[in-house]
Structure 1
Amino acid sequence: MMNIQATLLAAALFCAAGVQAQNEYAEIARLNSLNERVYGIRSMADGEHYTVREGNDIRRYAYATAGEGVSLLPTPAPNLVITDYGFSPDERMILIASGRHPIYRHSYTTQYQLVADGRVQPVLTEAEAPRDASFSPDGSRIVYSDRNDLYVYDIQSRKTRRLTDDGAWNSVINGTTDWVYEEEFGTTRAYAFSPDGTQLAFLRFDESEVPLMEMMRFDGKLYNTAYSFKYPKAGEKNSVVELWVADLASGAKRRIDTGGETDQYIPRIGYTPDGRLWYYRLNRRQNTFEVVLCEPHGAQRVIYEERSQQYVERVDDATITFVDKDRFLVRQESHTGYMHLYLYSIRRGFLAQVTKGPWEVTAVVGTDGKRVWYLSTETSPLRRNLYSVRLDGKEKRRLTTGEGYYTVAPSRGMKYCITTFSNATTPNRVEICDGEGTPVRTLADSRALREELAATRRPVKEFFTFTTERGDTLNAYIVKPRDFDPSKRYPVLLTQYSGPGSQQVADRWSLDWEDALVDKGYIVVSADGRGTGFRGERFKKQTYGRLGALEVEDQLSLARHMAAQPWIDPARIGIYGWSYGGFMATSCALKGLGLFRMAIAVAPVTSWRYYDTIYTEIYNNLPQYNAAGYDENSPIHFARMLDDGKTRLLLIHGTADDNVHFQNTIEMARALNRAGKQYDMMIYPDQNHSMMPDDTHNVRQKMIDYTLEHL
C-alpha cells in the first residue's frame, strides 16, 4: 500500500497532467475565436445599408462609408437574447426572436418581441410555443406556427386568427416541416406569402403512419423518460404531404392538387413575382424533379423537369431563381455532368446555357435581371471565387482575386457584397466590395490571429494528389509538425468525412482537434475519395447504390500510400470520422485487417437501414430494391473482421442523437460482443448529434487523449 505522502504526490501529478491535457483543445478553441467574422448580415431595401447583430444589439451600417453604425433598438436596450430578427417590408418594424428552445437541429421555439415606434414590446404572447414567425408582404400581419398549427396576428388590432386546427404532435403538422424535411431539405418554414400578402400557401404533413422513434432521456432525473418522435428510416413510410392555400383575410382554405402520387416530396413552395403559385415535386427515388406552376384559373403545368439514372442532386432554395415574371435560372448538373446555370422562360422553355466548362457553380449569389453573380470552382475544385455573367452567357467577369475560398453576402440589387476570404495560410478577411468586385473597405482582417500564427510558425495544410492502385487520382492535404524531419518516422492520423457530394480538402483556413496532435509530433492527412463533390457528376455518383464500398477502398489506399513514405511509421496509422465519417472510420478499422493501429468513430452510422429516407434513398435506392447495397457494406455484418490485437477502436455517441440514433452504436457493440472483440466506448448522456454546446470541448479533448495514448 502506498504511503500518504506518495499518494498525495501522485494525486498532485495526476491533477497537473489533467489540467495540461485539458488545455490542448482549449488552445485550439482560443485560436479559432480570433478568426474574425461578421454575424447576422442583412441587406436593407435600398441596397446602400446593411445590418448586423452585435451581441444583443442590431446595428445599421452604410456599405460605402465607414462609421460606428446606428443602433436600431431603443436606448436603453431591453434585456434581449437575440436569436434572429427580420424587418417588416417598409423596415419600420423589427421582429426579434428572443431566446431559443431547440426542437431538433434547426428548429426551435422562442419568444417574440416587436420593435416599433421606438418601443420593444412582446407579441404573440397567447402562443404556447411560437416559432417560424414572419411579416406578411404588406407588413400588417405576422404569421407563425404554434404546436403544429398556423396562426395570423394582426399588428394593428392585436388580434389573432387560427388558420388551421388539426395540428397534433406526431400526427399532423401545418406550416412547418417534419423531422426528415428539416434535416435533409434544410428548412423548417413550410409556408409562403403571395406577393400582395393576401394568400398564404402552406404544406400539411400527415405523419400519422410514419414509424415512431423513442429516444431515451435521462436529464439527471430519478426516472428516465422516452422522447417520442416520427422518424422515417430507409424504406419506411414518409409523411403524406399536401399543399394548401389560405386567404389571410377570411381564413378560407383550399387544397392544391399535387398529382395522384402521394409517396413523393414537395421540398419547396413559393410565388412568382407576378403572384402565381409554384412548387417543387420530387419522386420518392429522387431521380425525377419537376417545378410545377399553378395558373390563376386552376390549371397546372410543369415549367422545368430534370431526370437522372441515379439521382437529381438534392434541391434547395438556389435550385430555381426567378428573375422576373417570365424568366428563371436553374442550377443543375444533368446536361453536361457539371453543375451549371441555365436560363428558362415560363412561356418559351429553355433560353440559354449561362455558364459552361469542366468546373462547377457552387452558389447563386444574386441577380439584377441583367447579370447573375455566382461562386464557382473554375480556378480549382479546392477554391471558390465570385464571378458575374450576363444572362445570355456573355461577358463573364471574375470579381475576386484571392487564391482561396470566398463566401459572399450580397446587397439588394447587387450594388455591393460582403466577402469573407481565407486560404490554408490566411485566416478570415472580411471586405465590402462593389458589384464589380472592387474593394470598398475592410471590416475585419483577423490581424491578431495572423500575427500570432506568423510568430509561432504554426503548421499549415499542404495540398497534394495521389493515385490509388486502381488509377483514381484523389485530392488530399497534409499537415506536418513545425519541426518536421524527413529522416524521422512519424505517426499519422487520417481525418475524413467521405459522404456523397461532400468536401474536406478545401483551400480555406481552419483548425480543429487534430491540429493539437500536430503540436505533439503527429502528421494529419485528409483525402476526398470517390463520391465526394465538386469534381463533376461522374466522380460523385460512382458510389451510388453501394455506400461504403469505394469510399473505404480509397481510405485504405491512402493509408497504404502514407505507410510507404519513408518518414511515416507504418505501424502507427490511425483514422477518425464523425457521422458519415464515423461510418467510414468503423468500416476501415474492420476492413483494414490491422492496417490501422487506432480508429475513432463519432456518432457513426453502422447500418444504412437505420438512417432516414431522404438522405439514404437518394444515394442508395430503397432497401426493398437494393438490399445488398444496405447490408454488404454495413460494419455490423463484418464485426468479426476487427483485428483487436492490432487495432484499438473507440466508439463515441450521444444518447439523445435524434439524427444518427444511438441505436447505431448499440447494434455495433452487440455485433462486436458476439464476435468476441474488444473495443472502447465513450457515451455522452442526453447529447445530440453535434454534442453542442455542452460537450463540444470534452469530446475533442477525449479524442486528443485517446490518440496520444493509442497511436
Structure 2
Amino acid sequence: MKQIFVLSAILIFISCSKNTTKTSNLTAGNKEITLEEIWDGTFSPKRMNALNSMNGNFYSLLNNKDGNTTIDKYSYASLEKIKTIVSSANLKGISTFSSYSFNDDETKLILGTELKRIYRRSKKGNYYAYDIASKKLSLIGKNIQEPKFSPDNKNVAYVKDNNIFIKNVISNTITQVTKDGKRNKIINGITDWVYEEEFGFVRAFEWNKKGNYLAFLRFDETDVPEFSMDIVGKELYPNQQVFKYPKAGEKNANVTLHMYNLTTRNIKKISLGKYEYIPRIKWSNNDAILVATTLNRHQNKLKLYKVNTLRTSSYNLLNETDDAYVDINDNLTFLSDNSFIWTSEKDGFNHIYHYNFNGKLINQITKGNWEVTRYYGYNESKKTIYYQSVENGSINRGVYSISLDGKNKKLLSNKKGQNTAAFSKNLNYFINTHSSAKTPPIYSLYSGEGEIIKVIKDNAALKEKLSGYNMTPKEFSTININGNDLNMWMIKPANFDENNQYPLLMFQYSGPGSQQVGNRWNGANDYWHNMLAQKGIIVVCVDGRGTGLKGRDFKKVTQKELGKFEVEDQIAAAKKLAKRSYIDENNVGIWGWSYGGFMSTNCILKGSDIFTTAIAVAPVTSWRFYDTVYTERYMQTPQENASGYDDNSPINYADKLKGNYLLVHGTGDDNVHVQNSYRMINALVEANKQFDMFMVPDRAHGIYKGKNMRLNLYTKMTNFIEENLNKE
C-alpha cells in the first residue's frame, strides 16, 4: 500500500508582515481560495522536468514544443543545452514518443510510443531502437514491456505476453527465451500485481556486465486466487477485469530465479534455500556473480545470496533479521572491489553500513538517533557517500556527504525545511529541491562539495500570487500523547480569535513508516485545508505511533495490531486538543484516504465520544481483504493473528456509529478493492445506521480520471463538512 496524497498542485502558506487582531498568525491578502482554483492549476508551482543523469557531467530532458518531441543533452556545470540527441520531426515511422532510455555507453536509445498503463507502475507499448550515430530507427516490438539493452549493445531483452524475448539488433533476429507464459498462470521477467505494488518494481530480469547471461524471475500464479471487478465503461454491457490478487493468508505466486545463457541458450533454475519472496536481484561487478535477496513470509528474515553463473547453487552472503520486519530498498551498491554498501535499522535507526564481499562488516558509516532517508550513491574517486537524513529534526530533510570510513560528514544543503537531491551520474553535481511550509520549491544547482552554483527556479511568482490570499502558515509543534511527543501541525483561521470557539478537523494517514507532519511545501490537500480554515475550521495533523523517521521502536510498535495504537493516539489527541478554550469539543471531525480512511472510520466508531464527523476515502475496512505482502509484513497471517485482524476492523464496530459518516470509493480500485466499502455498508445497514456514500464508477485508488473528478469529489467533501461540522 502506497500513500495517496492526492496532491497534484504544490502548495502554500506564505508569511507576510501584517498581524491580525488577537492572533500571532501571519496572514496575507483578502482573496479566498476556491475549489476551482485548487484544481485548475492556479496554484501549481513551476517545476523542473524529470531529468535523466548521463555519463560525465551531463543530463538529458524529454521536451515537447509545437508537437515536436526531442531528447536534449545539457551540461550540469552550466545548465545550458549542448545538443539535441533526437527529434521526432526527423524520425521516419513514428510521429512522436513519450519515453526513452539509454544503453550503458549512451550510443543508443530505446523510444516508447502508444504506451498503455496496466497498474500503478506497469505499462506496455510499442518500442524502437535508435542508433544515435547513424540515426537509424528500428522496431523492437509492439505491445511489449520493459525493453533493455545488453551492456555489449548487441541485444535487447523484453517481455511480451508473459514471455521473455531477446532481439539481436545487429542481425535483427529474435530469440524466444521462455515459452510457458500465460495470463493469470505464468509470468516470466515481469512481476505480478503484488510485487509491483508492494516491492515497487516491474522488470524482473537483469543483464550481467558482459551481456552473456540474463537472470530472471518466474512467477507461477496458478494457485493464486483471482479477483474480479466489473468495469462499467461506455458500452452497453460492462466488462470484467480479472487478475490474480493474493489476499492476506492466501497463496502467493511461486517465484523462482533462473539464469539464461545466451551462448548455449540453456536456462538453469537457481536454488536459494527456503524462502517466500525474491524482492530484488542485482549483478555484482563480477560478471559471473549475481546477488539475490530473499524474504520469508513474515518478512522478518532477509538473506542475500551470491549466485555463480556456473552453478545452480548459491552462497549465503548476509542475514538480516528483525522481531517485526525488514524493509526492502534499492540501496545495495557494489564498489570496485565488490565490497558493498547496505542500509539497516539493526541499531534502532536506519543507517549506512559497509561490508566486504564475504558478508563481513567493515564499518558502520553513519550513526546516531536519527534516520537516513535516502542513499544517493558513492563517489569512488573521492571515497565519499551522499545521502539524505533527518539529522536536523524529524520534520526536516538534509543532503549530506560522508567519507567511507564514517568521517568528514558535511551538510550540503539548507539546514531547515526539506531538501531532495538529483545527482549527476558521477556525483560531481546535484540539483537540490528545497521547500518548507513557508517556501515553495526552489531548484538550485550545487557542486558535490555543497557549493551553490546557480538558482534555477525559485517560484517567486507563485509566492507573490499567494500573498494576495487570505492564508495562514502551519504551526509546527509536538503534543504529548500516551507518553510520546508526537509531531503536529495546525492551521488556524486567518482571523483567529482565541476567545472564540472553532470546529476541529483532523487529517492523517498514519500508515507504518509514513509521515504527514513534515516541514515541506505540500499540495492540493493543504490548499483545501486552508480553504476550510477560511470557513472558520481549525485543521490539525498528528503523526501518531507507527509513523516513520523517529526510530525503529516508534515505527514498529504497531506490529500485529494495525489500527490499535494509531487509533488510540488520534482519539487521545482529539480529546486533548478539545480541552483548549478555542476548540469546540462538540464539533470534532477526522478524514483520511486509504490507510487514512481505515483510520478515520475506526476513529468515529471507537472514538464516538469525541468525533462527530468523519470522511473515509478508499478505506481498508478489514486487513483480511488486503494483499499478502503489505498486510502480513505488519500483521502476519489471519490464521496466525485472527484477533489482530478482527479487533481493529471497523466492520466489527459498525453499531457504534453515532456521528456523520461519508464513505467514498472508486469501483475500479485494483488496490484497496471496493469490496472493503461494500462490506462496511452492509455492516452499517445491519446495524441500522444512517450514513452518506459516494461510489465512483471505474475509478482506481486515486479517484482522479475524468473531467472535474477531483473538483467534484472535493466539492462533495466540502459540503459534507460544512453541513455537519462547521455548525454555528
Distance (whole Å) between structure 2 residues aligned to residue 69 and residue 516 of structure 1? 45
Is 2:170 the partner of 1:160? no
Specify the alignment match of 1:238 in structure 2: 252
* In structure 2, C-alpha distance between the alignment counterparts of 1:70 and 1:494, rounded to whole Å: 51
Code of the aligned partner of 1:443: I
**More moved, 371-380 vs 216-225:** 216-225
1:105 CA displacement? 1.1
Provide the residue aligned with 1:394 in structure 2.
407
Residue from 689, 692, 698 that aligns with 1:680: 692
Counterpart residue identity of residue 170, structure 1: N
- Equivalent of residue 123 in structure 1, options 134, 139, 142: 139
Q: Could you give the per-residue CA deviations for residues 395-427 of structure 1, whole angstroms, max 9, x where no partner exists?
A: 111111241101111112211111111001001
Partner of 1:104: 119
Q: 1:212 to 1:459 in 2, by over 3 A?
A: same
- 1:120-269 equivalences under 5 Å are 121=137, 123-125=139-141, 127=142, 129-259=143-273, 261=274, 264-269=276-281
* Superposition map of 1:374-453 within 5 A: 374-453=387-466
Q: Is the 1:113–1:120 Cα contact (8 Å) retained in structure 2?
A: no
- Residue by residue, what CA displacement relative to the aligned partner does 1:275-315 show, whole Å, maximum 9, x if unpaired? 21110010001010011112355252222111111111x20
| 8 Å Cα contact 2:589/2:613 also seen in 1 | yes
C-alpha distance in 2 between matches for 1:226 and 1:620:
31
Which residue among 345, 361, 365 is the counterpart of 2:372?
361
Q: 1:308 aligns with which of 301, 322, 334?
A: 322
CA distance in 1, matches of 2:264, 2:461: 58
When residues 567 and 77 of structure 1 are mapped into structure 2, their CA distance, relative to the original with a 3 A threshold, is: farther
Q: TM-score, normalised by structure 1?
A: 0.92
Cα distance, 1:60 vs. partner? Answer: 1.4
Amino acid at match of 2:360: G
1:229 match: secondary structure: strand
Cα RMSD after superposing both structures: 1.8
Match of 1:42 in 2: 52
Counterpart of 2:75? Answer: 62
2:293 corresponding residue in structure 1: 280
Does the 8 Å CA contact 1:274/1:325 hold for their aligned counterparts? no
User: For 1:579 and 1:516, how far apart are their aligned partners in 2?
Assistant: 22
1:489–1:566: 8 Å Cα contact kept in structure 2?
Answer: yes
Aligned to 1:555: 570
Cα drift, residue 25 of structure 1: 2.6
**Secondary structure class of the residue paired with 1:53:** strand
Higher relative contact order (CA 8 A, sep 6+): 2
Aligned mates of 2:209, 2:75 — CA distance in 1: 28
Query: Aligned residue for 2:12?
Result: none
Residue 160 (structure 1) shift: 1.7
Q: Which moved more, 1:568-577 or 1:665-674?
A: 568-577
Structure 2 residue 658 is the aligned partner of structure 1 residue 658? no
In 2 relative to 1, CA 81–217 (structure 1 residues): closer, same or farther, beyond 3 Å? farther
Shift of 1:450: 1.5
Q: Go from structure 1 to structure 2 and tell me whether the alpha carbon gap of 1:24 and 1:456 turns closer, same or farther (over 3 Å shift).
A: closer
Q: Superposed, which structure 2 residues align to 1:569-648 within 5 Å? A: 569-643=584-658, 647-648=659-660
- CA distance in 1 between counterparts of 2:612 and 2:435 reads 34
Q: Which of 357, 373, 386 matches 1:346?
A: 357
Partner of 1:16: none
Write the letter of the residue equivalent to 2:173: K
Q: Which residue identity is paired with 2:282?
A: G
Per the TM alignment, residue 670 of structure 1 is displaced from its structure 2 partner at its CA by 0.4
Q: CA deviation at 1:594?
A: 4.3
Letter in 2 for 1:62: S
Q: Answer whether contact 1:74 1:118 (CA < 8 A) is retained.
A: no
Residue 689 of structure 1 aligns with which residue? 701
CA distance in 2, matches of 1:564, 1:293: 59
- Decide whether the 8 Å contact of 1:514 with 1:704 is kept in 2: no
For each residue in 1:641-682, what CA deviation from the matched residue of structure 2 results, as whole angstroms up to 9, or x when unmatched? 101xxx110110010101000100000000000000001110
The answer as to whether partners of 1:134 and 1:142 remain within 8 angstroms in 2 is: yes
Kept after mapping to 1: 8 A contact 2:471/2:530:
no
Match of 1:496 in 2: 508
Q: Shift of residue 81 of structure 1?
A: 5.6
Which of residues 87, 110, 114 is equivalent to 2:102? Answer: 87
Shift of 1:215: 1.1
In structure 2, what is the equivalent of residue 27 of structure 1?
37
Distance of 2:407 and 2:175 partners within structure 1: 51
1:291 is matched with 304
How do 1:463-478 and structure 2 match up within 5 A?
463-468=476-481, 470-478=482-490
Aligned partner of residue 72 in structure 1, secondary structure: strand
Which string of whole-angstrom CA distances, capped at 9 and with x for unpartnered residues, describes residues 320-368 of structure 1?
Answer: 222234211110102x100001110013611001000000001101101
TM-score by length of 2: 0.90
When structure 1 is superposed on structure 2, of 484-493 and 625-634 the one drifting more is: 484-493
Structure 2 residues without counterparts, runs of 5 or longer: 1-31
Give the letter aligned to residue 548 of structure 2. G
Q: Distance in 2 between matches of 1:616 and 1:40?
A: 32
Q: Which amino acid aligns with 1:504?
A: Q
Contact 1:86 1:96 in 2 (8 A): yes
Change (3 A) 1:561 1:343: same
Q: Residue type of the partner of 2:75?
A: A
Residue 487 of structure 1 and its aligned partner are, at CA, apart by 2.1
Equivalent AA in structure 2 for residue 172 of structure 1: I
C-alpha contact (below 8 Å) 1:38/1:52 kept by paired residues: no
Out of 715, 722, 726, which is 1:701 matched to? 715
- Write the letter of the residue equivalent to 1:57: T
Answer whether contact 2:129 2:140 (CA < 8 A) is retained. Answer: no
Q: Distance in 2 between matches of 1:373 and 1:676?
A: 58
Query: Which residue identity is paired with 1:106?
Result: R
State the distance in 2 between where 1:32 and 1:594 align.
40
Secondary structure of residue in 1 paired with 2:299: coil
Separation in 2 of the partners of 1:683 and 1:658?
15
Q: How far, CA to CA, are the matches of 1:524 and 1:580 in structure 2?
A: 19
Distance of 2:323 and 2:233 partners within structure 1:
47
Question: Conserved in 1, the CA contact under 8 Å of 2:205 and 2:214?
Answer: yes
Q: Which amino acid aligns with 2:148?
A: S
What CA distance in whole angstroms lies between the structure 2 residues aligned with 1:141 and 1:532? 45
Deviation at 1:462, TM superposition (A): 1.2
Aligned 8 A contact 2:88 2:97 in 1: no
Letter in 1 for 2:163: D
Change (3 A) 1:676 1:257: same
Which amino acid letter does the alignment assign opposite residue 478 of structure 2? T
Instruction: Specify the SS of the correspondent of 2:554.
Output: helix
* Contiguous gaps of at least 5 residues in structure 1: 1-21
Cα deviation, residue 77, structure 1 = 5.6
Please state how far the C-alpha of 1:704 moved relative to its aligned partner.
2.0
Match of 1:479 in 2: 491
Residue-by-residue CA offset, 1:538-565 (whole Å, 9 max, x unaligned): 1111110111011001111121122112
Q: Could you tell me how far 1:120 is from its partner in structure 2?
A: 6.9
Task: Give secondary structure in 2 for the equivalent of 1:363.
Answer: strand
Q: In the alignment, is the contact (CA less than 8 A) between 2:306 and 2:316 conserved in 1?
A: yes
